[in-house]
Amino acid sequence: MKPKISIQYLIPFVCFIISPLGCSDDFLDKKPQGNLIAENFPVTAADAEQAVNAVYNTMRISEFNFGLFPIMDIMSDDAHKGSNPGDQRSTIGPFDNFTHIAGAGQTRAWWNTLYLGIKRANVVIEQVPPIVMETELRDRFIGEAKFLRALYYFDLVRAFGGVPSITSVQAPIQQERATPEAVLTLIEQDLTDAIAALPEKDEYGASDLGRATKGAAHALKARVHLWQSEFSDAETHAMAVINSGKYSLEMNFENANSKIGEFGIESVFEVGAIGEESLTNGGNQYANVQGVRGNPNRGWGFNRPSEDLKAAFEPGDIRLDATVLNLGEVMNDTIVIEGDGTTPDGPAKNSYTYPGFPDGIVEVEAYNQKVWTPGINVPTQFGHNRRIIRYADVLLMAAEALNENNKPGDALTYLNMVRDRADLEDVTELNKDLLRDIIFHERRVELALEGHRFWDLVRTGRADDVLEPYGFIAGKHELLAIPQAEIDLAGLEQNEAWK
Amino acid sequence: MPMKKVFTYLIFMLLPVLLFGQERTITGVVTSSEDGLPLPGVNVVVEGTTSGTVTDIDGKYAIPVTDENERLVFSFVGYKSQTIAIGQQTIIDVVMNEDTETLDEVVVIGYGTIKKSDLTGSVASVRGEDLVKIPAVSPMQALQGKVAGLQVTSASGSPGAGTVVRIRGQGTFNDSSPIYVVDGVILQDIDFLNPADIESIEILKDASSTAIYGARGANGVIMITTKRGKAGQQKPVISFNSEYSIQQMNRKIDLLNGREYALYVNAYDPGTYNNPDVLPNTDWQDLLFSPAPIQNHQVSVAGASEKIQYYIGLGYFKQDGIIEKSNYERFTVKLNNTFHIAKGVRVGNNITVTPFKQQNTNGNVVFTAYRALPLLTPYQPDGSYTEVPNVGNPLADIEYTNSFDSGVRGIGNFFGEVDFLKEFTFKSSFSVDGKYSKNKSFTPVFFVSAQQQNSENDLTKNFRDDFTLLWENTLNYNKEIGKHRVNVLAGYTMQDTQSEFLNIKGENIIREGDDFWYFNPSNINPTGIDDPNDVDPKFYYSMLSTLFRANYTYDNRYLLTATYRRDGSSKFAKDNQYASFPSFAVGWNIINEAFMSDYTMISNLKLRASWGRLGNEKIEYLKQFSLVDNGVNAVFSQSEVLNSGASYGVTGNPDLKWETTTQRDVGLEIGLLEDRLTAEFDYYHRVTDDILIPLEIPGFLGNGVGAQITFNAGSVLNKGFEFVVGWNDELANGIKYRASVNGTTIQNEVLRIQGGGSVSDVLYGPESLTISRVGEPIGSFFGYQVGGIFQSVEEINQFPHLDGAEPGDLRFVDINNDGQINSLDRTVLGSSIPDLLYGISLGASFKGIELSLDFQGESGASIMNYKETVRPDRYNFEQHALDYWRPGSTSTSEPRAAEGGVNWGANDYKSSRFIQSADFFRLRSATLGYSLPEKLIAKAKMQAARIYVRGTNLFTSMDFTGYSPEVASENPLENRVDRGTYPTTAIYSFGLNVTF
């Protein structure tokens, strides 16, 4: 008997068969909620500005500052690890006597952060050009991004040598190291473009103070050329800053780095910050890492000024007091620096061994006064604006380049501008070699604890002489090791001396 | 009547009647031995013929017979068949005994049911009555130690706390929880279900049984069938259950008292306490914990008519915590109906509505009380709280914490079923799972000490809704031809899941009372909270699936199952959205072979094997995208203005695809002595490949410090044996008794972590407390191995040591033999995954009195006593610290007295000193019940009445110094890390069950 198929039996079948067809692929399309995806950003002028601002943000990430701890000064004769003897002894301590290793977390963090900045810059450089918007503003945005990309790559190439040259947000995951020359060429081209595109400092509105300027780009380019001993180009760009007439020295040396002097006349490029502990809310941990430890509780007390640095100041140099914050000092009229209870107050030998100091090195609890911000708590310390380039540095770069270019008279002019402010007598030395040493010494005391000393020693070939007693090995420690993780993960080639 | 019709019809269809000459008619009544009630629908057949009938609604039958030598066979599903010689009788009344054999049990499987004898998969069944034995929010609590292969761990003892459930090990680095299928609705948890509403739970373990759930089946499936009115149950059954329990701490951590603490401090800081004998002594644990009640009440009505089967259940559960300001309260409403609207056409609903309320006490208070110094009195003479340095006063923590959760979970399932063309059934099922919940927390202004104070009151509210729609359509084909039995299932399903949450914070609420816990423009703080409005990236997705299954049985001997499911998920990019999950299984009922008839002792023997691929899609759908980060701000201008910024965040991986588990299973089922002795053995082997794990990537990709990208980069193996052995018998004097033992071995091993190219090959847990690397179990504890205590300066110089090591310090083993102790010497110190789970269940009953005992245990796992580590300041110590090393003593386990430092795990020097055995053996439940005699209760028109007393967690044997080694986290990378967990308790209950 054949069963009768009636319509009521067919309905389920029909439902069953059509239901898959009733839904297109859209059913499986779920977009992220409340989040833009990279494909949809940046597409407007407002997006472009946000993308540019993000490139600046990188400079407030704590690891941008030499991997959180100001390792660059600790790796010089100007400073020691600091803090109490135990804190970060095994992580930061090795940078004090050049026993650091390729696996050090700090250098990796620094590397990663610099490349984060480069990625953000690449977003602007690559994605902003097609945006329909005011041409002048668009060019400025791209100029700002190129300036910052150059700044980040310059740190990388100085610290690590040739590094992967990433100029696109779509970079392949497998990379090799570019040559140092190639990286420097990229930096110089970016700065040339930035100089062409960026306005002078006073062409920005007050609300944009802190953005990259033509002057900053010239100054950075001078620094890049000086690094390569290209004195003619260095002179050109340093003089471009000087001749722009937009800058001069603060009357009071202290204000070159202080709260009062923020975005002041001497500031060529600095990192704006707000006194909040959160990065999102505008804080920068740079000063907190070095801030007074204990009482008042401003920070961790790393990057302790060395006795050697203190001795380097000429008698009567007012900069010593403004550079080193000693126990017992009274800041802002009322704040007594008592310091940390677990750190020896007086002269005490630190626990590291140094090849050139068989009896060890004596430290005295003291702090980097250049990062002082008025206040007694931690958040206020996050409001310090780190000066990346200040006019005194430009003057000394000019002096150095001019001397090398056989213009000692002009060199003395700019050198003595810096010395005058420090209440020191003019230098009159015209002998090129002697003047070179004088300028070099001036750089040390003027720019102490601002992260220049190590680079200056390396680029002038003085590092082995000066740093050998601390454990520096010529031919090796001019560069940091490529972070071990990059070698393990990506197979990058290690610097020869670090293999 | 309909039952009779159906059965008559069936008999008529299947057994064409051939009638011989009628001589006489045998009549009789068939009743059940269980309750003495008539049994309708019992098959009555003349042995060796096709002549037969079925009993009517009153259990009566009449059957013509021709010969006094003939015998009648009485059979009915769920009862033992009886064969009775006719002889001269004309009236044969039969009492049918329930069949305790499990062979013909019907087992619930995905999208259907199957006779247990036809089953090729590994499925464990638990009856509803076993689920009400533990007074807890979640029915899963009752399954601890009950099922081979199933590990249920309480996340904590706090009221309303969930459970961590694992089937056959830890399958992935991601969410390894099984899915739950309640009356056909796929869910992520069943904490909203009242255990009393559950008819049965089946745990689907192997690929054959879970593959029908494809992408959701990798970590097992737990099928829940809730109660319905039974067809033919014309008289409504009204049940009332009431239970009252008291929870009590039955274990304290052995901490130093005030005097001992003072002596210890004096040992490293002499003279701190000049007269230890006169110091106060506070036992913070006594102040923190106090006995607390649980109430649990249900009433239900179930019944059926020709057209309707119905079940209505109402439950109330309230648990107070043993710590102040923690409690949980809920109502459960259950409504299950089936309407027979036409012949072969059914519609129905399964509805659950669960409103709940919960108060959470300070989450850190157990840890705070653990650390608080014992020589401080809790209160000052003026009644204010005493300052407890470094940790805060735990009692003040409780007073100033106000956190409330509330919400409602509602699940509605509506289905229609049509039988057609005899062999086909089409079912369409539409389900809505909605949950709305909120949390409100308020911290008033208070001052206990500089460290423990709040200068501005604050109010936080989180609102969250989760919403899932599920539409499933299945077509079922059943056919039996001769010795061939075929069942084919095909289906199509769609699911859409969404969630949204909103967090709001306010400050300076004008008054502190809860009448004022509302926001207005003057108190709201828009920058106070991260992620103020977002979706849960784990619960925002859609799925499309097709499914297929064929079961074939030949002659009740050879079984074959093939399953195939194809799932599409929105969680992956277009090219990887779809994946297929096949499985195959075979079974051999050896017992039904002719050659077995000689072995009368053997009542069941079955061999089965399965292979299949399963998926896990419980991953965050956002990992495929490169998102734009907001809040990447810059500061410009002298007036320090924040300029908002945005840029590309961590790069997504659009190539992500499904995690796939390949599982093999071989099982053997044995029944001996008429199934009085039963045993089931399984070997399982599960390999999960393409596990999604976040791995480190080269920094030059520009994702920042510590950035990770998720890759399909891991493989994990779980393998082991499961066994269940049971004995069930009744003695001649009427004593029934049973005993069963189950056990599971687990070997968990990471087989691979590698994304190919530029990614790392290990995975660390938070604070590097655990490591996952090839050759070790997932989330193995990681740190320094203690080799002993340095007894002297000479000994220090003999061994590699840390700078500044002193006699009495821990000696860490130089694992890599490089002559120094550094981070490269950290090693695996233990696993959080046990290698053996076991349970023992004993029961006996006699004349209405019944006694049951359930034991449970685990061994082979370790636990980290994290709360003992990390001591930057002075905290109380556990008792063993008093055995500290001192010159002249030779302690090899307790270092010199000190309040912190490396010996106590400071500066990432976590060591084996803090790793303890997590082995335990526990009397999980002991029940003594008494059912009142029928005579007595009949007067009250009751069908049954029972009273009982029960103890839960009465006794635990363990080495761990904390409250319980059951400290579970859903994150396998930080499982069994005891940071001061809310303790589980012993529970004493008294209850009453009445049925009308």
The residue type found at A407 is: K
Yes or no, beta carbons of A34 and B494 under 8 Å apart: no
**Dist. CA A1–CA B238, nearest whole Å:** 47
Contact B645 A57 (CB under 8 A): yes
pLDDT for the residue numbered A285: 95
Distance CA B342, CA B355 (A): 35
Backbone angles phi, psi at B226, to 5 degrees: -90, 165
Which residue, among B787, B818, B829, has the nearest Cα to B805 in the 3D structure? B787
Which chain B residues are closer than 8 Å to A51 by Cβ?
Answer: 645-647
Question: Does the interface predicted TM-score (ipTM) exceed 0.95?
Answer: no
Contact A445, A313 (CB under 8 A): yes
d(CA B948, CA B952): 13
Site of tokens 């008093």: B882
B176 CA: distance to closest CA in chain A (Å): 24
Structure tokens at B706: 């510590």
Contacting residues for B685 by C-beta, under 8 A, at least 6 apart: B663, B664, B665, B717, B718, B719
Q: Which residues of A237-276 are buried (b: 16+ CB within 10 A; e: fewer)?
A: bbbbbbeeebbebbeebbbbbbbebbbbbbbbbbbbbbbb
CB atoms under 10 Å from CB of B483, counted, come to 11
Does the pLDDT at position B906 exceed 80? no
Q: Which among B473, B706, B760 has the least Cβ separation from residue A19?
A: B473
Are the beta carbons of A361 and A352 closer than 8 angstroms? Answer: yes
Select the residue from A5, A29, A30 to test the B interface by mutation, using most B Cβ atoms within 10 A: A30
Q: How far is A53 from chain B (nearest CA, A)?
A: 5
CA angle B132, B136, B139 (to 5 degrees): 55
User: C-alpha distances in angstroms, A311 versus B462, B723, B810?
Assistant: 60, 80, 43
Interface touch B699/A108, C-beta < 8 Å: yes
| Gap between the Cα atoms of B95 and B74, Å rounded | 10
**What does the pLDDT look like over B560-571, one tens digit per residue?**
999 999 999 999
Q: Mention every residue, 6+ apart, whose C-beta is less than 8 A from residue B660.
A: B218, B579, B581, B613, B614, B615, B688, B689, B690
Q: What's the distance, CA A402 to chain centroid? A: 26
Distances (CA, A) of B725 to B147, B153, B677: 11, 23, 7
Smallest CA-to-CA distance from A444 within A269, A310, A327, A344 is with A310
B756 to chain A: closest CA residue: A489
In the prediction, which pLDDT does B182 show?
94
Q: B-chain residues within 8 Å CB-CB of A40?
A: 628
List beta partners, residue B294.
B245, B319
- pTM: predicted TM-score of the whole model, two decimal places: 0.83
**What distances in angstroms separate CA B620 from CA B535, B539, B569, B656, B694, one per listed residue?**
11, 8, 12, 11, 11
Contact B647 A272 (CB under 8 A): no
DSSP string, B797-856: HHS---TT--TTSEEE--TT-SSS-SGGG-EEEE-SS-SEEEEEEEEEEETTEEEEEEEE
Q: Are the beta carbons of A16 and B475 separated by less than 8 Å?
A: yes
Pairing type for strands B198-204 and A386-390 reads unpaired
Q: Are B967 and B863 in contact (CB under 8 A)?
A: yes
From B533, B700, B759, residue closest to A175, measured CB to CB: B700
- The answer to whether residues A400 and A227 touch, using CB atoms and an 8 Å cutoff, is no
Q: Calculate how close chain A gets to B213, using CA atoms only, in Å.
A: 18
B582 is written with which tokens?
């096949």
| Mean per-residue pLDDT of chain A | 92
Cis peptide, bond prior to residue A296, ω within 30 of zero: yes
Which residue type is seen at A17? I
Average pLDDT, chain B: 89
Q: How far is the alpha carbon of A164 from chain B, nearest alpha carbon, in Å? A: 7
Which stretches of chain A score pLDDT less than 50? 1-5, 12, 15, 20-23
Cα gap B694→B898, rounded to integer Å: 39
Strands B221-226 and B179-182: parallel
| Distance of alpha carbon B660 from alpha carbon B392, whole angstroms | 48
Could you give the CA distance from residue A460 to residue A462 in angstroms, rounded to a whole number?
5
Residues belonging to chain B: 996
* 8-state DSSP, A207: G
Find, among B354, B294, B352, the residue nearest to B328 by Cα: B294
Q: Quick check: B638 and A209 CB within 8 A?
A: yes
Residue B785 Cα to chain centre, angstroms: 34
CA distance to partner chain A, nearest, from residue B646 (Å) = 5
Give dist(CA A198, CA A205) in Å, integer: 13
B348-379 pLDDT, tens digit each: 999 999 999 999 999 899 999 999 999 999 99
What's the sign of the alpha-carbon dihedral B588, B589, B595, B600? positive
Q: Output the CA angle B322-B326-B331, nearest 5 degrees.
A: 110
Q: Can you name the residues that pair with A373 across neighbouring β-strands?
A: none
Give the pLDDT score at B14. Answer: 41
Q: Is B314 helix (H, G, I), strand (E, B) or coil?
A: strand
**Does residue A38 come out as left (phi exceeding 0), alpha (psi in the -120 to 50 range) or beta?**
alpha
Asked if A210 and B700 come within 8 Å (Cβ–Cβ), the reply is no
State the smallest CA–CA distance between residue B649 and chain A in angstroms: 8
Q: What is the DSSP letter of B79?
A: B
The predicted pLDDT at position B5 comes to: 52
Hey, are the CB atoms on A166 and B627 less than 8 Å from each other?
Answer: no
Query: B71 pairs with which residues across the strands?
Result: B85
Put simply, the answer to whether A30 touches B570 (Cβ < 8 Å) is yes
**Residues in chain A, how many?**
499
Q: Decide if pLDDT at B12 tops 60.
A: no
Name the minimum distance, in Å, from the CA of B861 to any CA of chain A.
Answer: 32
Q: C-alpha distances in angstroms, B533 versus A281, B111, B149?
A: 19, 37, 40
Cβ atoms of residues A142 and A55 within 8 Å:
no
Considering only the beta carbons, identify the residue of B473, B543, B636 that sits closest to A16. Answer: B473
Q: Decide if pLDDT at B538 tops 90.
A: no
Two tokens, residue B351: 């509805």
**Neighbouring-strand partners of residue A368:** A324
Is B544 in Cβ contact with A36 (below 8 Å)? no
Q: Which residue has the tokens 């009566």?
A: B60
Q: Chain A residues with CB inside 8 Å of B570's CB?
A: 27-30
pLDDT of res. B91: 85
Residue B757 in tokens: 């190219």
Q: pLDDT band for B82, please (50, 70, 90 cuts).
A: confident
If we measure between CA atoms, which residue out of A465, A496, A449, A468 comes closest to residue A71? A449
Compute CA distances B534 → A34, A388, B461, B803, whole Å: 7, 38, 14, 49
Collect all residues of chain B within an 8 Å Cβ-Cβ radius of residue A273: 635, 640
Test A280 with B647 for CB contact under 8 angstroms.
no
Query: Cβ-count burial of B606 within 10 angstroms (0-12 exposed, 13-18 middle, 19+ buried)?
Result: buried
Q: What's residue B755's pLDDT? A: 59
Tell me how far apart the alpha carbons of residues A165 and A182 are, in angstroms, rounded to a whole number.
Answer: 8
pLDDT, one tens digit per residue, over B291-323 is 999 999 999 999 988 889 999 999 999 999 999
- How many contacts does A have with B, using Cβ atoms within 8 A? 237
Residue type, A98: F
- Count of CB atoms within 10 A of residue A450's CB? 24
- B33 Cα distance to chain centroid: 36
List C-alpha distances in Å: B836 to B123, B151, B831. Answer: 20, 10, 12
Q: How far is CA A229 from CA A442, A457, A460, B221, in A?
A: 18, 13, 8, 71
Instruction: Answer yes or no: do B569 and A112 touch at CB < 8 A.
Output: no
For A197, the token pair is 């595109």
Q: How far apart (Å, rounded) are the C-alpha atoms in residues B801 and B816?
A: 13
Q: Which of A50, A274, A489 sits opposite B696 (nearest CB)?
A: A489
